[in-house]
Amino acid sequence: MFRFGFAVAAFVALGPVGALAQSSSSSSAKTFEPSLYMQFQYRDSNEVTSSAFRGQHGLHFRRLRFGGTFRVDDATTARFVFDGASGDNQDEASLKEAFIRHTVKSGVTPLMFQFGQFPLPIGYELHRSSADREMPEFSLYNRLLFPGEQIRGVMASGTFGPSSASVGVFNALVNDDPEQDGQTPSPGGRMAVFGRYQMSGKQISGGVSGFFGERPAFVGTSATSPAADRALISLDLTYKDMLPGLTLRSEYLTGRDRVGTAAGNVGATDKPLSGWHVQLSQEVGGVGTVFGRFGGFDTDTQTDGNAYQEYGLGIRRELAKGLTATVAFERIFNPNRPRSYSVSTFRIQYRF
């Protein structure tokens, strides 16, 4: 982490570099395309505690993402993204994405190799930009199993007509997992393998993803958690314009894992679990996009009393080019608390 001022200075300094690269594009393929979006919001909740959103009540920055993509040549790009709203006071910058893509042309189909840090591409939700997503936050199971969504690894992808396939090797834990945060990258050297197959059409697209590895034993603040398997399968489906302006997005995840905890727990072995959500969004002329999401997360399907449920609805409207406003309300039923709780969010976003 470093102070936001230094990060902004570095970003501004890249402006002349990008302009120089673009001005010389006639003699060189090198270009730089900057990107930026910021989200400022008011968030209110009656939840007693929230490890996932501690310090994110009242008025605050949710995200301030800035970076860009270097185009080295027709086959190679390098991308980096920082978040300038990290830290307890949202005044620090942290690395979000940093990866290189290189495409190798083969006799059958071009193969794209990606190296570095990027969103884990399991399902559809984690690698869909927060600037595009309708609901303010990811579904509960994705927030708890893959906090921060960024992971480090190597992935190869190929496209075959309407279908595509990807395979990869990653660290066993995402960067912000409580059992990795502040530890060495991939504690214990544990790695995971990943695979995804996807079919894409004009209106309907869907895929199946798999992530298989092991959570290493973790020495927490109060106990030591044992090693645990991570064996997860995800199915996702997107149906655009199923009716005029109506889009359905859905995802189902199942397998074995445990929810990471910084405290540690000697009994925190891997458990059979499942998570899912269904979201509908309707474009309404002159109003914006109205959306609703219903989902759940059962952290141990073998025993009762572990199933969360979440309901959410909201509206998103474009106020000007690049400027949008979102109002959303969510209700979460937590089996470990005596009552449910609500979350209300009003967000303004600008995207460059």
Q: What is the mean pLDDT of residues 267-285?
A: 95
Task: Give the model confidence (pLDDT) of 237-274 as tens digits.
Answer: 999 999 999 999 999 999 999 998 888 788 888 999 99
Average pLDDT, the chain: 88
Q: What pLDDT is recorded for position 186? A: 54
Residue boundaries of the structural domains of the chain: 98-351
Q: What is the mean pLDDT of residues 280-285?
A: 97
Classify domain 98-351 at the CATH topology level.
Porin (2.40.160)
The tally of CA atoms less than 13 A away on the side-chain side of residue 217 is 5
pTM: 0.86
Task: Give the model confidence (pLDDT) of 35-88 as tens digits.
Answer: 999 999 999 988 765 545 555 678 999 999 999 999 999 999 999 999 999 987
Task: Give the model confidence (pLDDT) of 157-181 as tens digits.
Answer: 999 999 999 999 999 999 999 888 6
Q: pLDDT: is 12 or 299 the higher one?
A: 299
> In this prediction, what percent of the chain has a pLDDT beyond 90?
69
